[in-house]
Each structure stands twice: as structure tokens, then as C-alpha cells.
């Protein structure tokens, strides 16, 4: 009987640690704070069969070092602002210090056929070496 509580605690610990691994991507908070990202334009690709938002984002780097691995969250909404989908995307390009870069034709992933609006939020960046 004494092993049963230990088994339950071990199982709970494994579940909690597994879920904790699904947190925000690691990055440099100071560099992320000095990086700005905006959604310039987007459209849906797939002709109502495979619905994928294709985004054009602009990233401005106000840091003294170049940044890479620009990770952002995207959310889609229907016409009435009801949340539909959420995902993350990492841009593989680099933005030099004090400069701005446009990243076009970013295929974000499969979303609901009723997606009418797209919102993006910068999550993290890392220093480019």
C-alpha cells in the first residue's frame, strides 16, 4: 500500500514536467524587449481546401547585436472576433543591429476555414553569433 502514493506522486511529477516543457520558446528577454515586429499584410492560401495564412512581417532590431530565431505567436479570428486558431512560427533569418528586415511569404500553418483576421505577437529572439 505504501508504494501506491509514491507511484501517484511520480506519475503526477512526470505529467507536470511534460506539460511544463510546452512553455514559451527560450530566448533572450533583453534582446526581445528591444525588438519590434509588425504584421504588414497577409492573405489566405489554399482555396478553402487547405487554409494557410501567408504573412508578411517586418522586424526592427533596436539592439546592439544582430538577432535571429525570431519566434512569434499567431492567432486567427472569425468575422465576430471569436478566437479560432493559435500557433507559433520561427523566422530563420537574421536582423542586423539597428536595422529592419521584411520577411515575406511566411506560410504559418493550417487554420480554420472561417479565419478572417490574423494577429501576431513577438515571443522571443536570440543573439546571432
The CATH number of residue 33's host domain is 2.60.40.1620
Asked if the structure places residue 92 within a domain, the reply is yes
Phi–psi pair at 71, nearest 5 degrees? -110, 130
pLDDT computed for residue 2 by the predictor? 54
Asked if the structure places residue 116 within a domain, the reply is yes
pLDDT computed for residue 5 by the predictor? 54
Give 75-96 pLDDT, tens digit per residue: 999 999 999 999 999 999 999 9
Please enumerate in sequence order all residues whose Cβ is within 8 A of that of 97, keeping only pairs 6 or more positions apart, or say none.
Answer: 61, 63, 64, 65, 66
> CB atoms < 10 A from the CB of 92, how many?
8
Q: Where are the beta strands (DSSP E) in 62-116?
A: 67-77, 83-91, 100-107
pLDDT computed for residue 6 by the predictor? 47
Asked if the structure places residue 44 within a domain, the reply is yes
Asked if the structure places residue 80 within a domain, the reply is yes
CA distance 54 to 108: 6
pLDDT tens series, the chain, 129 aa? 555 654 445 454 444 443 444 455 578 899 999 999 999 999 988 876 788 999 999 999 999 999 999 999 999 999 999 999 999 999 999 999 999 999 999 999 999 988 899 999 999 999 998
Cell triple for residue 50? 487547405
Asked if the structure places residue 5 within a domain, the reply is no
Asked if the structure places residue 47 within a domain, the reply is yes
Asked if the structure places residue 13 within a domain, the reply is no
CA distance 102 to 37: 10
How many structural domains compose the chain?
Answer: 1
Asked if the structure places residue 60 within a domain, the reply is yes
Please enumerate in sequence order all residues whose Cβ is within 8 A of that of 106, keeping only pairs 6 or more positions apart, or say none.
Answer: 54, 55, 56, 57, 89, 91
Amino acid at each position: 500500500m505504501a508504494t501506491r502514493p509514491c507511484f501517484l506522486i511520480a506519475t503526477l511529477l512526470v505529467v507536470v514536467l511534460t506539460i511544463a516543457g510546452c512553455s514559451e520558446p527560450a530566448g533572450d528577454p533583453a534582446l526581445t524587449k528591444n525588438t519590434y515586429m509588425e504584421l504588414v499584410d497577409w492573405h489566405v492560401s489554399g482555396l478553402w481546401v487547405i487554409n494557410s495564412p501567408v504573412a508578411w512581417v517586418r522586424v526592427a532590431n533596436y539592439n546592439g547585436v544582430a538577432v535571429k530565431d525570431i519566434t512569434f505567436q499567431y492567432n486567427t479570428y472569425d468575422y465576430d472576433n471569436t478566437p479560432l486558431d493559435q500557433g507559433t512560427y520561427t523566422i530563420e533569418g537574421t536582423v542586423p543591429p539597428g536595422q529592419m528586415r521584411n520577411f515575406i511569404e511566411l506560410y504559418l500553418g493550417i487554420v480554420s476555414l472561417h479565419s478572417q483576421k490574423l494577429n501576431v505577437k513577438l515571443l522571443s529572439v536570440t543573439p546571432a553569433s
